[in-house]
Structure 1
Amino acid sequence: MVRRFSVKARFALVFAGLLLAIGALMLVLEFLLVRAALPTQTEPDEPGVPATSSSPPTSSVVLGGPDQGRAAAQVVQHNIAEYRADVLNTLAAQSGIALAASVVLALGLGWVAAHRMLRPVQQVTATARRLGADNLRERIRMPGPRDELTELADTFDGMLDRLAESFDSQRRFVANASHELRTPLATQRTMIEVAMAKIPPGSPARRLCERLLTVNARNEQLIDGLLVLASSDRGLRARTDVRLDEVARQAVAVHRASAAQRGCTLHVELKPCVVRGDRLLLERLVGNLIDNALKYNTEPGSVWIGVGERPSLSVANTGPDVPADAVPGLFEPFRQLAGDRAGPQRGVGLGLSIVASVVRAHDGTIEAVPRAGGGLVVVIDFAGARVPDGESARNSAAADSENA
């Protein structure tokens, strides 16, 4: 891969190259003018008298015969030639040094000028990196005179305004639709349960009611998942210190009965860990991961839940083989693997999508890899929600004393 220079480097190189070309042209012209102005050698017109077209004045008088005059003229011409060569050599050397120093200075000045000129662009880039679907409220609002860079910043701000409005409209629609659908689903479930109470067990009508209750329960799960997804996508309005190990311990306690029914063994290793975030969303995150690990497992099977001091959370399970190229799609809404992972207890396809959304809201990262022998390993790094070491130790000690 060919490494390209940055814009600042290219600007500095262009600036120095232009100065080098202009400086070289001026030095060549200066050299030619100085060379033309220096005295030149000519043949003597009379014996004993050195004749030059332009020679330094001398007060010496040549005495003697023609031979002595010719020798004196040769000495003068030799001195003129040396004087001319010394001047031109000195001029060329000093001009070259001055040109080289100017080029180095031009590189430095070009770099500084490019840095100052591109600072607004860097501001736009930094703002764009901080933005996400859950954080579209920040704007550049570049001050200064109206020019191309401020126009670029204003255009970027306008685009963010339109994006924020579009995202908010979409989230409001999902939330409102989910709320509106909850009431008829609850009414439908009540009516089915009342009807089932009047139907004798084993009859076809009762079996139909049971299937309708199953469908109704899945629809309620879907609505509830959409609400949580819309809530986590909005970001966190407030952050509090949360003991991640306590959240995981409570989630494990809730799922122990379900694990026993499925013939799965829970292996738990929890270290004290404090993160800053939303406790309800973190509880939903851990619960979804454990529920997913139990739902798509073998019988008998195992689930490993771990919380580290990094802070990090890991959940792994036994189960069917998961193709590596299919793992990224598991975190997209309504995406499920076909085959063994889609059994009678399959969900609605929002569990891992909610997990990914909650992780983003907490400025964390999530990684999933197929487990050797079948199953999936999910590791979440909450580095963005880390509590400083001193505060984390105090919070952990306070929580342990309260629990004691």
Structure 2
Amino acid sequence: MIRLRNGTVGLRFTILYAGVFLVSGIGLLSLTFLLAGEGRHSVPVDRQPTPLGGPDELHQHVRHLQEQLAEVNAQHSRQLLAGSLLALTVMAVVSVLAGRALARRVLRPLRTITAATRRITADDLHRRLSVSGPADEVKDLADTVDDLLGRLEASFAAQRRFVANASHELRTPLATMRASLDVAVAKPGVARQTLVLGDRLRTQLDLVDRLLDGLLVLARAQHGALTGAADVDLARLAARAVADRTGGIAAKRLNVTEDLRAGMVTPGDAALLSRMVENVVDNAVTHNEDDGFIRLETFREDTGVRLVVETGGRVLDQRDVDRIAQPFERLGEERTGSENGSGLGLSIVAAIAAAHGGRLELLARPRGGLRVSIALPSVPVPAEVGA
């Protein structure tokens, strides 16, 4: 079966080449057969000396020669027809094989460009196709894609720099506003309404501060700016994150189950990985139901390690779950912000996991709640440890 990957251009080329080859072959064989037929009709009968005998014997002899000639012509026509059909069949097979080979050869540079383009993601826009060869249409296409990747890389870098710079620059006026607010409410004789208003403003300032902090972390993770590589144990990070949130867990009367196996070590930025695990645990506590549960598990798989955090709650739509890893997206909310979060928690988790060569997986549990799974590459285990 002739099937070229991901499309019908190769198949159309094959059919086109085979069709042209077959039409040419049929025309050539038809012309040969036609000329051979004309030659047979124009073959003269050799004149022989008049045999001894009367006119009847002469006519009988001529008729016999004509019958022999007709039989020879018919046999020759059958042989020529059979040979032509056999040649046409062979040409049909050869034309299809030749068409397929030619189509593959013509489309080979395009397949190379397609495969290279698919390997390029938003995290490695610095890569280029760099197709070599003559200055033809394929080279022009590859150069155009490289130019597009260059423009995308510059645009993404500018966007990340803007977010990081804007978040950093806004910290100074926020700190000034917080200091001014603290000075104003600390003065003697301040009215009670002013104190209440100060508390509300301070809460909003804290929310904006957390939002800016989240944007800075997100920009840093998306930009791939890892400060250093260290061996980080996911189990220890998860246990510490749970211990730091005992107050919130107790307030909702959550049942926490831990299966945190030691030795689940991954290389990376310790601060970012700690923030990633804290965001997952925060999400599990904040968006849980009263008297609910949290299950945490770490384990090794293939060449990586995985952290899984499951929570209970209402039944969720997987289509809604798929989008909550995007910045400022939340379940069941038209607006992304809330009193308790900035809408960046899981998007930061996804960005940090991707920056470390891992991935975030979100799954709506059939019985309700959410399953958050993070897969990361692992540090090779020494032989004496694995024994």
- What is the TM-score with the length of structure 1 in the denominator? 0.80
Among 249, 256, 272, which residue is 1:259 paired with? 249
Corresponding pairs, count: 378
Matched residue type, 2:164: A
Could you tell which deviates more after superposition, 61-70 or 157-166? Answer: 61-70
Among 276, 279, 303, which residue is 1:288 paired with? 279
Alignment of 1:171-186 (within 5 A): 171-186=160-175
Q: 2: distance between equivalents of 1:273 and 1:396?
A: 16
**Contact in 1 for aligned 2:207/2:339 (Cα 8 Å):** no
Matched residue type, 2:241: A
Among 204, 222, 239, which residue is 1:233 paired with? 222
Q: 2: distance between equivalents of 1:328 and 1:193?
A: 42
Shift of 1:197: 5.8
Answering whether residue 69 of structure 2 is matched by residue 80 of structure 1, we say yes
**Contact in 1 for aligned 2:218/2:348 (Cα 8 Å):** yes
Q: 1: distance between equivalents of 2:285 and 2:211?
A: 19
Answering whether residue 144 of structure 2 is matched by residue 168 of structure 1, we say no
Matched residue type, 1:289: V
Shift of 1:337: 3.4
The secondary structure found in structure 2 opposite 1:29 is: helix
Q: 2: distance between equivalents of 1:119 and 1:142?
A: 12
5+ residue gaps, structure 2, are: none
Shift of 1:326: 2.7
Instruction: Look up the match of 1:28.
Output: 30
Relative distance call for 1:250 and 1:119 in structure 2 (3 A) is farther
Among 9, 13, 37, which residue is 2:15 paired with? 13
Q: 2: distance between equivalents of 1:202 and 1:318?
A: 45
What does the per-residue CA deviation read over 1:159-201, in whole Å, with 9 as the maximum and x for residues that have no partner?
Answer: 1111111111111110111111223323444454565666799
Instruction: Look up the match of 1:109.
Output: 98
Q: 2: distance between equivalents of 1:300 and 1:202?
A: 41
- What is the TM-score with the length of structure 2 in the denominator? 0.84
Instruction: Look up the match of 2:371.
Output: 377
Relative distance call for 1:219 and 1:343 in structure 2 (3 A) is closer
Give the share of equivalent positions with the same residue, in percent. Answer: 38
The secondary structure found in structure 2 opposite 1:54 is: coil
Q: 2: distance between equivalents of 1:318 and 1:163?
A: 41
Answering whether residue 385 of structure 2 is matched by residue 397 of structure 1, we say yes
Relative distance call for 1:277 and 1:125 in structure 2 (3 A) is farther
5+ residue gaps, structure 1, are: 41-52
Q: 2: distance between equivalents of 1:93 and 1:157?
A: 56
Relative distance call for 1:231 and 1:144 in structure 2 (3 A) is same
**Contact in 1 for aligned 2:254/2:290 (Cα 8 Å):** yes
Alignment of 1:206-355 (within 5 A): 206-235=195-224, 242-271=232-261, 272-275=263-266, 277-310=268-301, 311-338=305-332, 345-355=339-349
Question: Aligned Cα RMSD in Å?
Answer: 3.5
Relative distance call for 1:96 and 1:197 in structure 2 (3 A) is same
